[in-house]
Structure 1
Amino acid sequence: MDTGTHIVMGIALAGIATLDPVVTESTATTTSVMLGAIIGSQIPDIDTILKLKNNAVYIRNHRGITHSIPAVLLWPIALTAVIYPFFPGANLLHLWIWTFLAVFLHVFVDIFNAYGTQALRPFSTKWVALGVINTFDPYIFGIHIVGLVIWALGANPGYTFIPIYFLLIIYYLLRFSARRKVYLEVKKMIPDATEIIIAPTMKFRQWRIAVMNKHQFFVGRAVKDEVSILDQFNRVPVPETPVLNAAKKDKNLSAFLSFSPVYRWEIDEYDDYYEVRFIDLRYRSNDYYPFVAVVQLDPSLTIITSYTGWIFSEEKLRKKLEILPG
């Protein structure tokens, strides 16, 4: 989920914690638990700082080890160790319990996004991505804001958020059902599909679709259970050529390939350089595919420049690459 949603979820959990009689028996425990819930709801995303280094490192590592099983166990211990000295009168066990729940909830809800997490590490490096909830879901965020307003008006926060979370469970089940309908419709249209990727959007009844069979890629969308195929591409295996082999050594392209399961590739040759481009097919937006990796190499196949990330115009891509168009 996005940072804002994780924050309101942390505050909501802090509100639910007030139903714990041990939490409310002392000011120190109440305050420390609220801090633990709010900070714990954010701490797995500390790897966002990797963006300051470069996109390649961020793409390879975001929601990786910081969302793993060891991390879920260690974050609460570390946060409890930091918070407790400021509130020595707090109940240590209940501070740890609510901090653990906050960390666990963060990783758990991220599993439902299309991006997913490596939540099964160290047992598996597979990305767990159920693809039923958009990274920012206005309904989930909105109902939390409603709960916070009710709390601010004087209602009991625990009794406010418990029914809200029951409603959210129903909402998640509805999303699974809606996604299943889209999946079955896609399977009807492309019965020989070998992989079907369905990604949610911010709109409840709209989904992005990327499909593979043995020979083609299909890119489409679903609106109100009606599936439309918008683009089709022949699947062309990436050949073993000197240019492509040299490009694959680039850190940005390598990061892209570690993250993207459905992509097409292009090679352009100019007077004084080659340009290799890999395009993720999962994120079509306004007839454009914004998630790319681009590598430029000189005639001796030395990498000149490269980029991976989200780009919504060719002009901006050229600025990122810092050379003029070919």
Structure 2
Amino acid sequence: MDTGTHFVMGIALGGLATLDPVVAGSSITASAVMVGTILGSQAPDVDTVLKLRNNAVYIRNHRGLTHSLPAIVLWPLLVAGAVFLFFPDSNLLHLWLWTFLAVFLHVFVDIFNAYGTQAIRPISSRWVALGIINTFDPFIFGIHIACLILWGFGFPPGYTFLSMYGILIIYYIARFREQRIIKKAVKVQIPEAKRIIMSPTMRYHSWKVAVITDKHFYVARANNGYVTILDKFERIPLPKSEILDAAIHDKNLAAFLSFSPVYRWEIESMDNYHEVRFIDLRYRSNGYYPFVAVVHLDRDLNITNSYTGWIFSEAKLRKKLNILPG
């Protein structure tokens, strides 16, 4: 989820904690738990700072080690320990328990995004991405804000947020059900589908769909249960190419390939350089595929420039690659 949603989730857990008699019976422990749940709900995303280095490092590592099984154990210890230094009279056990719940919930809800996490690392390094909840879900964020407002008007926080979580469980079940219905509709239109990758949008009944078959890639959009195929690409295996063999060692392209499960590729030779481009097919937006990896090589196959990330126009891509217009 996005940072704002994780933040309100942390506050909500602090409110839910008032149902704990130990927390409810001590204002110091209640304050410590609130700080612990807020910080715990943010801690796994500390790897966002990797974006300051470059996109390749960020793509390869975001939601990786910091969202792994060891991290779920380590973060609560670090956060609760730090908070306890400022609230030494609080109950450390209950502070740790609620902080642990905040960290666990952060990683758990991220699994439901299309981006996913490496939540079962080190058992497996594969990405777990269920693809039923958008990174920012207006309903989830909105119901948290609504319950916080009710709390401000004097509603009991414990039961208010307990009711909210009951509603959210129903919401998640409804999202799973809609995803299953759309996958069945895709199968009707594309019976040969081997894999269906779905990405929810911020609109409740709108989904982006990428389909892999033995011979083709399909890009589709699902709205209100109806599936519309937007693009179809021939699935061409990577060729044996000196240009590609040289480009594949680039850090930006390697990061892209470690993250993207469905893509097409292009190799184009210009007057002074070769361009290798990989295009992720999951994120079609207004007829454009914004998530790409591009590598430029000179005539001697030395990598001269590269980029991976989100680009919504060729002009911006050329600027990223330091290509002069004309």
The two structures have a TM-score, normalised by structure 2, of 0.99
Report how many aligned residue pairs link the two structures: 326
Distance 2:261 2:87 in 1: 47
Name the counterpart of 2:303. Answer: 303
The one-letter amino acid paired with 1:84 is F
Distance 2:196 2:179 in 1: 11
Q: Is 1:52 the equivalent of 2:52? A: yes
Spell out the pairing of 1:307-326 with structure 2 (5 A cutoff).
Answer: 307-325=307-325
Following superposition, the deviation at residue 192 of structure 1 comes to 1.2
Determine helix, strand or coil for the equivalent of 2:198.
Answer: strand
Following superposition, the deviation at residue 324 of structure 1 comes to 2.1
Name the counterpart of 1:272. Answer: 272
Identity %: 65
Distance 2:27 2:14 in 1: 14
Determine helix, strand or coil for the equivalent of 2:208.
Answer: strand
Name the counterpart of 1:199. Answer: 199
Q: Which moved more, 1:25-34 or 1:122-131?
A: 25-34
Name the counterpart of 1:112. Answer: 112
Name the counterpart of 1:21. Answer: 21
Distance 2:26 2:194 in 1: 57
The one-letter amino acid paired with 2:222 is A
The one-letter amino acid paired with 1:270 is M
Q: Is 1:7 the equivalent of 2:7? A: yes
Name the counterpart of 2:33. Answer: 33
Provide Cα deviations, 1:201-254, integer angstroms capped at 9, x if missing partner.
Answer: 111111101001111000001111110100000011111211001110100000
Following superposition, the deviation at residue 190 of structure 1 comes to 1.1
Name the counterpart of 2:123. Answer: 123
The one-letter amino acid paired with 1:17 is A
Distance 2:200 2:171 in 1: 14
Following superposition, the deviation at residue 80 of structure 1 comes to 1.4
Unaligned runs of 5+ in 1: none
Distance 1:230 1:80 in 2: 49
Distance 1:120 1:65 in 2: 10
Q: Which moved more, 1:304-313 or 1:24-33?
A: 24-33
Distance 2:65 2:31 in 1: 29
The one-letter amino acid paired with 1:54 is N
Distance 1:229 1:167 in 2: 33
Determine helix, strand or coil for the equivalent of 2:238.
Answer: coil
Following superposition, the deviation at residue 325 of structure 1 comes to 5.0
Unaligned runs of 5+ in 2: none
Name the counterpart of 1:141. Answer: 141
Q: Which runs of 4+ in 1 moved over 6 A?
A: none
The one-letter amino acid paired with 1:29 is T
Following superposition, the deviation at residue 21 of structure 1 comes to 1.1
Determine helix, strand or coil for the equivalent of 1:42.
Answer: helix
The one-letter amino acid paired with 2:162 is I
Q: Is 1:101 the equivalent of 2:98? A: no
Following superposition, the deviation at residue 43 of structure 1 comes to 0.3
Name the counterpart of 1:245. Answer: 245
Distance 2:27 2:224 in 1: 50
Provide Cα deviations, 1:57-116, integer angstroms capped at 9, x if missing partner.
Answer: 000000001000000011001111111111111101000000000000000000000110
Following superposition, the deviation at residue 27 of structure 1 comes to 2.2
Provide Cα deviations, 1:152-209, integer angstroms capped at 9, x if missing partner.
Answer: 1121111111111101110101000100000001111111111111111111111101
Provide Cα deviations, 1:238-279, integer angstroms capped at 9, x if missing partner.
Answer: 112110011101000000000001000011111111111000
Distance 1:219 1:130 in 2: 18
Distance 1:247 1:158 in 2: 55
